[in-house]
Amino acid sequence: MAASISPSADLSAALVHALPTAAAWLVILPVAWCLAIGALLVMLRRPIGLHPTITIIGLAGLVLIDGLLLREVAENGPLTMVMGRWLPPFGIAFTADLAGALFAFTAALVALVAGVFSLADVNDSGRRYGFYPLLMLLMAGVSGAFLTGDVFNLYVWFEVLLISSFGLLVLGSEPEQIDGTVKYGFLNLVATTLFLIATGYLYAVLGTLNMADIAKKAEGLRNSAPLVTLAGLFMLAFAMKAAAFPVNFWLPASYHTPRVVVSALFGGLLTKVGVYALVRVMVMLFPVEREELSFVLAVAGALTMIVGVLGALAQTDFRRILGYLIVSGIGSMLAGIAVGGPGGIGGAIFYALHSMLVMTGLYFASGIAMRLGASSSIASLAGLYRRHAGFTALTLMLCFAVSGLPPFSGFWPKVMLVKAALDIGAWWLAAALLLAGFLTTIVTGRLFLLAFWREGTHAAGEAVSLSPATLGPLAVLTGLTLLIGLYPEPLLALIQNAAAGLAEPSAYVNSVFPGGGP
């Protein structure tokens, strides 16, 4: 009997034997790289002068890695690597498909410009409290969430990015920040716990957590298992992470309190992780259930758009306006997921990528405006145009982009979403999209008129110059927005392939189970 559990037990059928190719390492490298740099920064606790340099080199490296990964995935299809050589579905798989790689690359780009912006925004006390290590760990969580191929592992990365975001949010320890963090912390913890509940049920029903395996097994269980309930649970959890109405109230309560660069990172990245998870689960794992739930999702999306932008209309604080605009944008992405099809899913992904760039840029603009005008209220900000014309021009472009006006990046996803909604006869959803766009134009137009165009009454006057570390990140993001708006074809082709790969995940499944699987 003892022989059966001796080391000679034959495990050959359970293990991967071929060494992973050099390309396969790219799947895990973004996470490993961020964790390593984060650990290095924690060890270099004393020489805080080194932190910004190491972080910016680290984030530039992350952009490079994600860029290589994106190229590899675009050329050769999804890439998989399993942990500990255990064959999937037993080993935890990291799988990058086009959607994941696109999100990861854009996130890395946003983090890099935020790293540069932080040079002028995070002071020594912020550095001492660990802004840079937390930033790298946040990126580890975000990259892991975009690249993992396992639902429980996705939960773990959510928690990694959540705990880092708590640290970043409360960095200054001012009463305002503590107030915001209390609401953000409790509600987000409830959201991830809902996600964990759904994951527990998922394993109880399907007996697997590997995404490719779920996509395969769900097919045979449609008639006997409560998959719609399961998809509904995931939908609630991810909608709460993405700040969809009516579970969005944590976002406007907290996103205007931390340092500007932290607001910018959160506004760009965190809600989009929720949207990405929603797309992954609803479109790839439970497509039939998504159809069943699409009406709920569409109504939630329409309400999110309108409630978000009405909230923005009622605010005077620059950053609180932006918080509500993020919520409004999330509504458009939900509408795309609800409509489905290549136009809907592609539109949702495109909108998410556009929103990552534009919302980060607008938060940078709010920070610069606060520095120039010594106020964050549009009631007292005035005459910024006279103080720096270039900054004003960049902000105006971002205002156009977020409103979905051509020739900026917000225009194309909006066109795709409106067309997709009209194609399936959901005219009310198309109307909500257009109405939200119109109201957003009013919000940003008023913002621009009051804060930039209006003649300053006091302390206005002489022009100032801004350092490259301040204006550069804003210019890069605006430039990207303009570039995507003027020449969307390459990105659009990638996004359409990504949407097709989610709707028909055979390439994804083949990459996880090369031999056809168990």
Partner 1 sequence: MEAWFALLVGIFFSVAVYLMLSKFIIRVLLGVAVLGNAVNLLIFTGGRLTRGVPPVIPEGAGALAAPAANALPQALILTAIVISFSFFAFLLVLSWRAYNELATDNTDEMRVAEPVNEPVPPLGY
Piece in contact with partner 1 (CB under 8 A), picked from 98-106, 109-117, 185-193, 411-419: 185-193
Q: 136-162 as b/e, with b when 16 or more CB fall inside 10 Å?
A: bbbbbbbbbbbbbbbbbbbbebbbbbb
- Which residues, including other chains, have CB under 8 Å from residue 331's CB and lie 6 or more apart? 244, 245, 300, 301, 302, 303, 304, 305, 306, 307, 308, 432, 436
- The CA distances from residue 26 to 39, 74, 94, 170, in Å, are 20, 13, 10, 33
CA–CA separation, 63 vs 412, rounded Å?
Answer: 25
Tell me: does residue 378 bind partner 1 (CB under 8 A).
yes
Q: Examine residue 507 and tell whether it contacts partner 1 (CB under 8 A).
A: no
Query: What is the smallest separation between the CB atom of 414 and partner 1, expressed in angstroms?
Result: 25
Spatial separation of the C-alpha atoms in residues 251 and 468, rounded to whole Å? 30
Name the residue nearer to partner 1 (CB basis): 4 or 223. Answer: 4
Residues contacting partner 1: total by CB under 8 A: 49
Does residue 168 touch partner 1 according to CB under 8 A?
Answer: no
Contact 361, 481 (CB under 8 A): yes
Q: Tell me: does residue 186 bind partner 1 (CB under 8 A).
A: yes
CB of residue 456 to partner 1, shortest distance in Å: 12
Alpha carbons 28 and 157: distance in angstroms, whole number: 13
201 touching partner 1, by CB under 8 A: yes
Helix axes 411-423, 427-448, angle to 10 degrees: 160
Residue 208 CB, nearest approach to partner 1 (Å): 10
Task: Single out the residue of 86, 76, 74, 82 nearest to residue 27, CA to CA.
Answer: 82
Angle at 201 between CA 145 and CA 345, to 5 degrees: 45
DSSP symbol at 95: E
Could you tell me the smallest distance in angstroms from the CB atom of residue 241 to partner 1?
15
Q: Does 203 bind partner 1 (CB under 8 A)?
A: yes
CB 342 to partner 1: min, Å: 35
Minimum distance between the CB of residue 505 and partner 1, rounded to whole angstroms?
A: 23
CB of 252 to partner 1, least distance (A): 8
| 241 belongs to the binding site for partner 1 (CB under 8 A) | no
| One residue of 11, 15, 179, 483 binding partner 1 per CB under 8 A | 179
**Contact residue for partner 1 among 107, 161, 170, 264 (CB under 8 A):** 170
Contact flag: residue 360 with partner 1 (CB under 8 A) = no
DSSP 185-218: HHHHHHHHHHHHHHHHHHHHHHS--BHHHHHHHH
Rounded CA separation 168/177 (Å): 10
- Binders of partner 1 among 429-448, rule CB under 8 A? 446
From candidates 112, 145, 230, 253, binder to partner 1 by CB under 8 A:
253
Q: Which of 30, 180, 361, 410 binds partner 1 (CB under 8 A)?
A: 180
For the CB of residue 452, give the shortest distance to partner 1 in the complex, in Å.
13
Of 405, 418, 417, 420, residue with least CA distance to 481: 405
Q: Does 379 bind partner 1 (CB under 8 A)?
A: yes
**Considering the rule CB under 8 A, would residue 304 count as an interface residue with partner 1?**
no
Write out the residues near partner 1 by the rule CB under 8 A. Answer: 1, 3-5, 152, 156, 159, 162-163, 166, 170, 173, 175-183, 185-186, 189-190, 193, 196-197, 199-201, 203-204, 252-254, 256-257, 313-316, 378-379, 446, 449-450, 454-455
